[in-house]
Chain A
Amino acid sequence: MPATKLATMTERLSLGRSAMPLLVAIAYLFIYAPVVMVVVISVFSQEIVSFPPPALTWHWYANAWDKPEFLRGLIASLEVAFLAAAVGVPIGTAAALAIVRGDFKGRGAISTLLLAPLAVPGVVAGSGLYMLYVLAEDFFDRDIKATTQGLVAAHILLAIPWTVRLVVASLQGLDRSAEEAAANLGAGPFTVFYRITLPMMRPGIVAACMFSFIQSFENLDLSLLLVGPGRITLPVAMLNYLEFRIDPTLAAVATVQILLVGVLMAVTDRFVKLSRVV
């Protein structure tokens, strides 16, 4: 190779090397700028945001605390997210086991069907569920639409696809010979599952719990039509507030929301390294 060509190549390489940190910085900026904005605005003192702020204040946090719909919304959201994950993750895990381990026709179709809810826009799924609930209410002669159960049932639809996806991935990466080794050492099928398979699936299941919880916790579009008076989730409460006022109170609420999710991810990461499963 001619020396000049080699020189241009090395030059290009080193250029690429120095451009790398810059690109990474831009990517981080892109991802975190909106989040940082929300947090910053939440302590600006004036109602209509302008730079530079005349003063910093905790006023909007106090204001959010004074509005009962936010605290109630937070509690409702936590409750729904917890229940949706608690029901959806076991169902999704069982489905993932059947998809990866089962030996029957149509496994591929089941897997596609279970992942499909991810592709349906939340508003569409929400209105579809609304109509279904109306029909079901007539049929069973009981309330479904504006109840916690109805909302949880809807949010389970968020939990299942995420769980199937994450647990299938963790099952496919699992060394099956460990299970054979356990059988070889005298463990029956149930013991093998309980003592070996399940613990080895743990990272996938923990990640599935976390993602299901967050998906439900921050969901707006699917919930919009299904919430009822007194059971309004936090994102819906925020939207309602937005219809009447625009001030940094929402930024304060959003900051609390961001903190909660952040803490949840940090705690989860202590148990399983998320970067390994996702």
Chain B
Amino acid sequence: MASLGLQKLSKRFGTSLAVDDLDLSVNEGELVALLGPSGCGKTTTLRMVAGFLPPSGGRVLFDNEDVTRLPAHRRSTGMVFQSYALFPHMTAAQNVGFGLEMRGLSGAERGVKVEEALKLVRLAHLAGRLPRELSGGQQQRVALARALVINPKLFLLDEPLSNLDAKLRAEVRIEIRALQRRLGLTTLLVTHDREEALTMADRLVVMEAGRVRQIGTPRELYDEPQDAFVADFVGRCNILSGRRESDSQFRSEGGLLLPVETAAKESKTATAFALRPERIAISPHADGSIKGQVEAVTYLGPQTEYLVRVGGEPFVVVRQTPGPNEALSSVKPQDIVSLTWDPRAPRLVPQAST
């Protein structure tokens, strides 16, 4: 396994910049996720790493060795495609063996390795099947085995779970992560699904319009987003624009005074207040300083979501679903409730458009 370095990488399509001056390093054995809305340049970046697209500028380094000009077939990366991209005319075993064949391994050597790789993804019994005779989940595992069997320098995953149903997705997510840890694979994962990114990655890169917004661990990004875009993209968030009133208060554009305690320097210039829905406590009594009217109560099973309008501003509050005897269980639309939070919970950040 190798480490990956991207230096001032950029890609221009005509007049538009798909990727703009991207710097990133992925350590050996680390899983880094590129997260962002479609069109943010994450897939373009992955394709430049794989060698399918020539960069317009910057360098791609594998183990500090410049591979920017190396064609895809000499880079030795193992990629899992969104569509799986299995060879439709070859059996599962032939698919997995293809990369080994290209490396000049004899039939006997290939047989052993192919079987090992298929065992790794628990598909040894379906080695002779054609891709169209396999289910989506099985095809995906063939694609995984095919990428891993060549002992790639880098493991590249392009939205690998987007074609699976929700239940299978959760399973495969854990499976891929376990495999990645066990084999120590240096991995670059592209996804637009924040849950996927948060649960799988060691570090996340949030991208927007070809630029990196923030790089950090899932917890850093979730708890300490640097701007409103990141706050909103990595999880649900109540974002109110306004300005800092004092060391302990934020005034929203609607005139609400919100308790906040932040000493961070950057918060002086902050124009947005960001607070996660689960950090807000809700009380059925109208005795707090922040009062609002319940607009909707949505039961989600383990959690319940309340939409509360406070002086014109909607707040989303997520709480553990109350038991039948708890006071909260009687809260219904039109009720007046109070909201409270730890003043250290909100973040004051710049607006997304920086």
Residues of A within 8 A of B (CB): 175, 177-178, 180-188, 191-192, 195-196, 199-200, 202
CB within 8 A of A177: which of B71, B81, B89, B103? B81
Interface on chain B toward A: helix, strand, loop, or mixed SS?
A: loop
Whether A184 pairs with B73 at a CB distance below 8 angstroms is yes
| Chain B residues positioned under 8 Å from A180 (CB to CB) | 50, 52, 72, 79, 81, 85
Contact (Cβ within 8 A) B89 A184: no
The docked-state distance in angstroms from the alpha carbon of A184 to that of B71 is 9
Q: How far is the CA of A191 from the CA of B88 in the complex (A)?
A: 16
Question: How many interface contacts (CB-CB < 8 Å) are there between A and B?
Answer: 64
Contact B98 A200, beta carbon cutoff 8 Å: no
- The yes or no answer to B78 lying at the interface (CB within 8 A) is yes
Q: Check if B68 is an interface residue, CB within 8 A of chain A.
A: no
Q: Which residue of A lies closest to B76 (CB)?
A: A186
- With A187-B73, A188-B73, A191-B102 as known contacts, state yes or no: A182 contacts B52, CB within 8 Å: no
Which residue of chain A has the shortest Cβ distance to B143 in the bound complex? A181
B87 within 8 A of A: yes
- Shortest distance from the beta carbon of B185 to any chain A beta carbon, whole Å: 15
Please give the residue numbers on chain B whose beta carbons come within 8 Å of chain A beta carbons, in ascending order.
Answer: 50-52, 71-79, 81-83, 85-89, 98-99, 102-103, 146-147, 150
By beta carbon, the residue of chain B nearest A178 is: B85
Query: Using Cβ atoms and an 8 Å threshold, which residues of chain A touch B73?
Result: 183-188, 192
The 8 closest A-B CB pairs, nearest first, are A185-B99, A186-B102, A177-B85, A181-B85, A183-B72, A199-B89, A183-B73, A178-B85
CB atoms of A184 and B87 under 8 A apart: no
Distance in angstroms between the alpha carbons of A132 and B206 in the assembled complex: 67
The verdict on A185 contacting B85 (CB below 8 Å), with A180-B52, A180-B72, A191-B102 known, is no
Which residue from A175, A191, A192 sits with its C-beta under 8 Å from B83?
A: A175
24 contacts between A and B (CB under 8 A): A177-B82, A178-B88, A180-B52, A180-B72, A180-B81, A181-B87, A181-B146, A183-B51, A183-B52, A183-B71, A183-B73, A184-B75, A184-B78, A185-B73, A185-B98, A185-B102, A185-B146, A186-B74, A186-B99, A186-B103, A187-B102, A199-B87, A199-B89, A200-B89
Give the chain B neighbours of A188 by CB distance below 8 A: 73
**Hey, which chain A residues are within 8 Å of B78, CB to CB?**
184
Q: Which residues of A contact B102 (CB under 8 A)?
A: 185-187, 191
A181, B81: Cα distance in complex, Å: 8
The closest CB in chain A to the CB of B97 belongs to A185
Query: B75: which A residues are within 8 A, CB to CB?
Result: 184
B351 CB to nearest chain A CB (Å): 38
- Expressed in whole angstroms, the minimum distance between the Cβ of A200 and any Cβ of chain B is 7
B146 partner residues in chain A, CB cutoff 8 A: 181, 185
Given A186-B73, A200-B87: 11 more A-B contacts, CB < 8 Å: A177-B82, A178-B87, A181-B85, A181-B146, A183-B72, A184-B73, A184-B147, A186-B99, A187-B73, A196-B87, A200-B89
A184 B50 Cβ-Cβ under 8 A: yes
CA distance A196 to B85 in the complex (A): 11
Residues of A within 8 A of B82 (CB): 177
A199-B50 Cα distance, complex, nearest whole Å: 24
Q: Which residues of B contact A177 (CB under 8 A)?
A: 81-83, 85
B79 touches A184 (CB 8 A): yes
**Of listed A178, A200, A202, residue having the most chain B CB within 10 A:** A178
A202→B51 CA distance, assembly (Å)? 28
Beta-carbon contact of A200 and B81 below 8 Å: no
Q: Chain B: which residue is nearest A184 at the CB level?
A: B79
Give min CB distance, B209 to chain A, whole Å. Answer: 25
Min C-beta distance of B96 to chain A, whole Å: 10
In this complex, the member of A184, A192, A196 whose beta carbon has the largest number of chain B beta carbons within 10 angstroms is: A184
What's the minimum C-beta distance from B124 to chain A, rounded to whole angstroms?
Answer: 20
Q: Please report the C-alpha to C-alpha distance between residue A185 and residue B26 in the assembled complex, in whole angstroms.
A: 22
- Residues of chain B lying within 8 A (CB to CB) of residue A199: 87, 89
**A178 and B103 contact, CB distance less than 8 A:** no
In the bound assembly, the distance between CA atoms of A191 and B74 in angstroms comes to 13
Chain B, residue nearest A192 (CB): B73
Distance in Å from the Cβ of A117 to the closest Cβ of chain B?
32
Q: Which chain B residues lie closer than 8 Å to A195 at the CB level? A: 98
Residue of A nearest to B78 (CB): A184
Smallest beta-carbon distance A170→chain B, Å = 12
A176 (CB) vs chain B CBs: closest residue: B85
Take A175-B83, A177-B83 as given contacts and tell me if A184 and B88 are in contact as well, using a CB distance cutoff of 8 Å: no
Question: Inside 8 A of B103's CB, which chain A residues have their CB?
Answer: 186
Which B residues lie within 8 Å of A191 (CB)?
102
Residues of A within 8 A of B147 (CB): 184
Q: How far is A195 from B150 in the complex, measured between Cα atoms in Å?
A: 18
Specify which chain B residues have a CB less than 8 angstroms from the CB of A187 in the assembled complex. 73, 98, 102
Question: Closest B-chain residue to A188, C-beta based?
Answer: B73
Provide the bound-state CA to CA distance between A187 and B85, in Å.
15
Q: How far is the CB of B62 from chain A (nearest CB, A)?
A: 14
A159–B102 Cα distance when bound, in Å, is 36
Bound-complex Cα distance A177 to B51 (A): 13
Q: Least Cβ distance of B228 to chain A in Å?
A: 35
The answer to whether A181 and B79 have CB atoms under 8 Å apart is yes
In the complex formed, the residue of A with least CB distance to B73 is: A183
CB < 8 Å neighbour of B150 from A182, A185, A192: A185
Cα distance A103–B144 in the bound complex, in angstroms: 33
